[in-house]
């Protein structure tokens, strides 16, 4: 099994390198940092611009291959180059990466765990009220674009705040600027800011997972081994948890990788809408400012996240399914 995981890991590293390179090449050929200088007044001379762009390794007059070699050798040493304004990309990553990871990790864990629980319970209560309600809810969330969900949550929060006359929900930024409230106060402030964007992300995860888990669970509910478990004396709840759900989790784990990719895309506009300075909003800004290296860095980050999720689901899969472990 160890060998299997190592092989998988090597595959992932190669995939990350390919994805990042591809993103760099795409960004470097379509984005033009030179344009940024055209609107300056006084407009700098072409030599000045060239000189500046050469410093940043962004000069389109240098052959692409040459620029790529410089960039790639930097990345290999852990240096993602400079932004269009000349600040190190690494500094920016450091500032933003935890902002995004906080959202992604909490959103994923909440969404998938609740989704699995609700889906499994709905399957047990097939066609009853709980099942119908959760099905309706999940389909609603799936049918509405994630942007709309994020925006409507904001609208609801505003209405709620107005109704109770207090700032219960906050939906702008990661925290209150310049707040001096000590450790606990700051933590509470951060939490309050987190609720809505996390919910926006978690909802989509939840919807996908609850549908999927419900179907997987329905497949095993009538199966012979659950009947065997009950025939040996397990009560209904134990048979469902220890035998049905345990088996029905296996396919869901592979599904995890798939939904995770969709969620990563969701983080970009969620961060934008809630005004979070994370990796997602950065990529949107960078495209506007023709920031080639920033785009490449964010792509690399996303690739790493997705591969990490895949690897995690590989591990979970091998852990849950002895058939993989044994062979």
Partner 1 sequence: MTGTEIQTSAAVEQRNGSAPVLEVSDLHVTFPGEGKGPDIRAVRGVGYSLRRGEILGIVGESGSGKSVSSLAAMGLLPDHARVTGSIRLHGEELLGLDDRRMSAKRGETISMIFQDPLSGLTPVYAVGDQIAEAVRVHNPAVSKAEAADRAVELLELVGIPNPAQRYRAFPHEFSGGMRQRVMIAIAIANGPDVIICDEPTTALDVTIQAQILEVLKTAQRETGAAIVMITHDLGVVAGLVDRMLVMYAGRPVEIGAVDDVYYRTRMPYTMGLLGSVPRLDDEEKAPLIPIRGNPPSLSALPSGCPFAPRCPLAIDACSEAEPELQPVGAEGHAAACVRTGEIEEHGWSAADVYPLPEASGAGSGQPPREYRETVLDVDGLVKHHPLMKGAVFKRRVGTVYAVDGISFEIAEGETLGLVGESGCGKSSTLMEILSLRTPQSGKVTVLGRESGRAGHRERFEIRRDVQVVFQDPMSSLDPRMQVFDVVAEPLRTHRHPRAGLRARVNELLTLVGLDPAHAARYPQEFSGGQRQRIGIARALALKPKLLVLDEPVSALDVSIQAGVINLLDDLKAELGLSYLFVAHDLSVVRHIADRVAVMYLGRIVEIGAADSLFSAPAHPYTQALLSAIPVPDPEKERTRSPIVLEGDLPSPASPPSGCRFRPRCPKFRTLSTAEQQACVDTEPGLNAVSQDDHGAACHYAEKRTVV
Binding site for partner 1 (CB under 8 A): 223-225, 227-236, 238, 243, 246-247, 250, 320-323, 326
Residue 52's alpha-carbon distances to 42, 49, 152, in angstroms, are 15, 5, 44
Rounded least distance, CB 136 to partner 1, Å:
21
Rounded least distance, CB 226 to partner 1, Å:
8
Q: How many CB atoms lie within 10 A of CB 148?
A: 10
Residue 165 or 233 having the CB closest to partner 1: 233
Rounded least distance, CB 168 to partner 1, Å:
43
Is the bond into 196 cis (omega within 30 degrees of 0)? no
Rounded least distance, CB 323 to partner 1, Å:
6
215 CB burial (10 A radius; 0-12, 13-18, 19+)? middle
**Nearest to residue 115, comparing CAs of 235, 236, 238, 248?**
248
Tokens read off for 32: 């033009």
Tokens read off for 154: 């904001």
Rounded Cα gap, residues 289 and 258, in angstroms:
31
Residue 1 or 187 having the CB closest to partner 1: 1
∠ CA 5-8-13, nearest 5°, is: 125
Residue 144 or 250 having the CB closest to partner 1: 250
Residue 77 or 232 having the CB closest to partner 1: 232
Rounded Cα gap, residues 24 and 325, in angstroms:
38
Tokens read off for 162: 């107005």
Rounded least distance, CB 130 to partner 1, Å:
15
Residue 86 or 233 having the CB closest to partner 1: 233
Rounded least distance, CB 28 to partner 1, Å:
32
* SS3 sequence of 133-184: HHHHHHHHHHHCCHHHHHHHHHHHHHHHHHHHCCCCCCCCCCCCCCCCCHHH
Rounded least distance, CB 317 to partner 1, Å:
11
Residue 101 or 221 having the CB closest to partner 1: 221
Residue 247 or 310 having the CB closest to partner 1: 247
Tokens read off for 49: 């611009």
């Amino acid at each position: 099994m160890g060998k299997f995981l190592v092989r998988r890991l090597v595959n992932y590293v190669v995939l990350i390198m390919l994805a990042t390179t591809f993103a760099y090449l795409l960004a470097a050929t379509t984005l033009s940092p030179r344009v940024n200088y055209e609107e300056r007044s006084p407009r700098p001379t072409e030599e000045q611009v060239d000189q500046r762009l050469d410093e940043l390794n962004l000069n389109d007059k240098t052959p692409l291959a040459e620029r790529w070699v410089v960039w790639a050798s930097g990345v290999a040493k852990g240096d993602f180059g400079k932004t269009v304004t000349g600040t190190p990309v690494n500094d920016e990553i450091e500032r933003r990466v935890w902002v995004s990871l906080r959202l992604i990790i909490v959103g994923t864990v909440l969404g998938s765990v609740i989704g699995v629980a609700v889906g499994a319970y709905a399957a047990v209560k097939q066609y009853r009220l709980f099942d119908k309600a959760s099905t309706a809810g999940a389909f609603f969330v799936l049918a509405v674009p994630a942007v709309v969900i994020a925006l409507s949550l904001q609208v609801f929060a505003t209405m709620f705040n107005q109704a109770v006359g207090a700032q219960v929900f906050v939906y702008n930024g990661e925290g209150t600027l310049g707040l001096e409230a000590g450790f606990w106060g700051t933590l509470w402030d951060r939490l309050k800011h987190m609720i809505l964007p996390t919910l926006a992300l978690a909802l989509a995860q939840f919807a996908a997972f609850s549908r999927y888990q419900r179907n997987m669970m329905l497949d095993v509910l009538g199966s012979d081994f659950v009947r065997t478990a009950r025939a040996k004396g397990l009560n209904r709840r134990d048979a469902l948890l220890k035998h049905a759900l345990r088996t029905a989790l296996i396919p869901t784990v592979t599904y995890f990788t798939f939904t995770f990719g969709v969620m990563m895309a969701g983080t970009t506009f969620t961060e934008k809408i809630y005004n979070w300075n994370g990796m997602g909003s950065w990529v949107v800004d960078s495209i506007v400012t023709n920031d080639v290296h920033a785009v490449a860095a964010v792509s690399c980050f996303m690739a790493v996240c997705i591969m990490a999720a895949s690897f995690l689901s590989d591990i979970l899969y091998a852990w849950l399914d002895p058939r993989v472990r044994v062979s």
